[in-house]
A = this chain, B = another copy of it.
Amino acid sequence: MADYAAPVRDIAFTLSTISDIDDIVALPGFDHVDTDMVDGVLDEAARFFGEVFAPTNEVGDTQGAVFTDGGVVTPDAFKEAWAKLLDAGWISVTGSPEFGGHGFPKTIGLAISEMMTSANLAFSLCPMLTGSAITLLTRHGDDALRDAYLENLITGVWTGTMVLTEPEAGSDVGAVRTKATPNEDGTYAIDGVKIYITWGDHDLADNIIHLVLARTPGAPAGTKGISLFLVPKFLLDDDGTPGTRNDIETVSIEHKLGIHGSPTCVLSFESATGYLVGEENKGMAYMFTMMNQARLEVGLEGLAVAERAYQHAATYAKERKQGRAAGSTETSPIIDHADVRRMLMTMKAYTEAMRGLVYDAVAAEDRHLRSADPAVADAARDRLALLTPITKSWCTDRGVEVASIGIQVHGGMGFVEETGAAQFYRDARITPIYEGTNGIQALDLVMRKLPMHEGRVVAAYLDEIEGIDAALASAGEGVSDLRRELAAAVATVRKATDWLNSSDDVNARMAGATPYQEMLGTLAGGYYLARQAIAAIDLGLEDPWMAAKVATARFYAVNLLPKVHGLLDATIAGPDLLFAVDDDLIGASS
């Protein structure tokens, strides 16, 4: 199992060139943060997650979380790493100082999350979902709930979960049937069975705070009749410490393809005591307030697993010798073979392109939440709304692709589990599914995000991409291929965008949603790498690291970006061909 060394330089460069971290730390509320501090934080986090978390990844996979009569048991290595994580305070980086957090921008929190997720994706889901619970409570909980629960969540003494899915309510959350019956004391009795509850039970913390979607008696049908409840594993005593066990049974955990270290629970609520968060019937609206955050974080998972798979494959390709590369008189490391090099460059280019997209989106979130200028905040909100489905879907699809390439680089060794490459391929496969499947993201992109402000949000984004043409022209012949390919790609994406935005046919737009999403993601990746290439040229190509940035952007532009042209026809074809074959001729009888 190869080590993980956080790519601190690329993270810092992306924070600087894409997120504009100087601008972020200058936002209101971040007076205690400055750019120099950021560099120190990145170095320290890199050390911590490389040394403490990364070594837990393999045991998390092979031993995994285990379901016992006494609840879910995690590997000992997880317990030790968790204790060190709390000690070091990494879990509290973005939390509100009012409740024990450090109050850093989300952009910096994301950089740290990237490292944690590369180090151990399965494990990282526990603080990730706790973060979602914190967001919901902070924005929608009343003072009593916030005072009782927030600090212990922010400091990681307790953990949180998101309890949405039921057997008949997956992508269609509105079908939730779990009941919430008012008790006389103002609490609610929660009854129902919930599935796919990530970290729904474990032995790392003294309490688990479930945020549960349920229906009160007589609530309207569908999404408009869903309320949000806080349901702790242990009810709090008067002194605020965990006391009586609540009536929540862990029924089982799933036997999954990957992320074995993350217990995915079936939970049965049997008149469990719950506390209403906010107002009745607004549960779905509240969920949407944390949806962007959670979807960005899943997009980040695609990036993070790709980074680790890439490092793993590169290490192997430098060590493994086989055959002679062109022009060599002795056995070559396989990194010298053109097809292996193509695989590694593809992994590198996709990973760095994803980093640009994710770090741009999270910076928009900080600006949206913090900017004192309403115009900036509003524009950032719209940008985040547009980028969220692209980030979630494109980065998770690329994460699977990069992990699969990682196996291929290893040849036969890649198929042997002990090599470690296969774990990334298995772990990555959940990311295009959860937090809204990528098909759901595509519908969100095409049906809700493209039409925003009569299409002006996406038009502005495409204008921005086109707008770097002048800088690429100034940068000279060295990037003429990059300039040419980017211009061609944005023109093709604009055709698809115009077609979708001018079509009145809902079915036609839904039919083209998925290929369009891939088009826009592929273009975005090329755009961020191009911006980084321009910055690198400004900083000076005598530094090989800067020259590599330019070469990576050019590689992407010539080898990966042109895929957008192959997706145009599928995007604008309309629904007829999708539905031209009868159901009974799809599948077994065909």
Measured CB to CB, the residues of A under 8 A from B are 3-5, 7, 9-10, 165, 168, 170-172, 175, 195-196, 254-258, 310-311, 313-315, 317-318, 321-323, 326-327, 331, 335, 337-345, 348, 400, 404, 407-408, 411-412, 414-418, 422, 425-426, 429-430, 432-434, 437-439, 442-443, 485, 506-507, 510-511, 513-515, 544-545, 547-548, 551-552, 554-555, 558-560, 562-570, 573, 575, 577-583, 585-590
Contact = CB atoms under 8 A, between A and B. Distances in A.
A336 to B, nearest CB: 8
Contact of A433 (B315, B414, B433): B414
Contact of A514 (B342, B418, B590): B342
Given A558-B573, A562-B565, 4 more contacts: A168-B321, A254-B415, A411-B437, A544-B585
A562 B551 contact: no
A233 to B, nearest CB: 23
Contacts of A314: 586-588
B548 A581 contact: yes
A338 B507 contact: yes
Contact of A439 (B337, B400, B414): B337
Nearest to A326: B507
Contacts of A313: 587
The 3 closest A-B pairs by CB, nearest first: A314-B587, A339-B439, A566-B566
Contacts of A555: 577-578, 580-581
Nearest to A341: B578
B326 A255 contact: no
Contact of A581 (B196, B310, B345, B417): B345
Contacts of A433: 407-408, 411-412, 414-415
Contact of A562 (B257, B567, B579): B567
B588 A5 contact: yes
B510 A326 contact: yes
Contacts of A310: 587
17 contacts: A4-B588, A5-B589, A168-B322, A172-B322, A337-B439, A348-B590, A408-B437, A415-B429, A415-B433, A422-B429, A552-B581, A555-B581, A559-B569, A559-B577, A562-B566, A562-B567, A566-B567
B417 A256 contact: yes
B422 A339 contact: no
A256 B507 contact: no
Which of A414, A415, A552, A580 has its CB near the most chain B CB atoms (within 10 A)?
A: A415
Contacts of A560: 570
A171 B322 contact: yes
B562 A345 contact: no
B564 A566 contact: yes
A2 to B, nearest CB: 8
Given A348-B581, A411-B433, A422-B257, A563 B563 contact: yes
A523 to B, nearest CB: 12
Nearest to A570: B559
A293 to B, nearest CB: 20
A579 B511 contact: no
Nearest to A443: B339
Nearest to A323: B172
Contacts of A344: 586-587
Contacts of A335: 583, 586
Nearest to A62: B255
Nearest to A563: B566
A455 B242 CA distance: 77
Contact of A590 (B7, B170, B342): B7
Given A7-B590, A578-B341, A570 B585 contact: no
Given A257-B426, A439-B337, A511 B322 contact: no
B170 A257 contact: no
Contacts of A565: 562, 565-566
Contacts of A342: 511, 514, 578
Contact of A322 (B170, B422, B432, B514): B170
B5 A412 contact: no
A8 to B, nearest CB: 10
A254 B416 contact: yes
Contacts of A165: 412
B562 A577 contact: no
B559 A348 contact: no
Nearest to A575: B338
Given A257-B417, A586-B344, A562 B558 contact: no
A318 B579 CA distance: 14
Contact of A511 (B171, B254, B338, B442): B338
B515 A590 contact: no
Nearest to A431: B415
A587 to B, nearest CB: 3
Contact of A411 (B170, B414, B415, B586): B170
A415 B432 contact: no
A299 to B, nearest CB: 16
Nearest to A513: B339
A90 to B, nearest CB: 21
Nearest to A410: B433
Contact of A586 (B348, B400, B412, B510): B348
Nearest to A545: B585
A335 B579 CA distance: 10
Contacts of A578: 338, 341-342, 345, 555
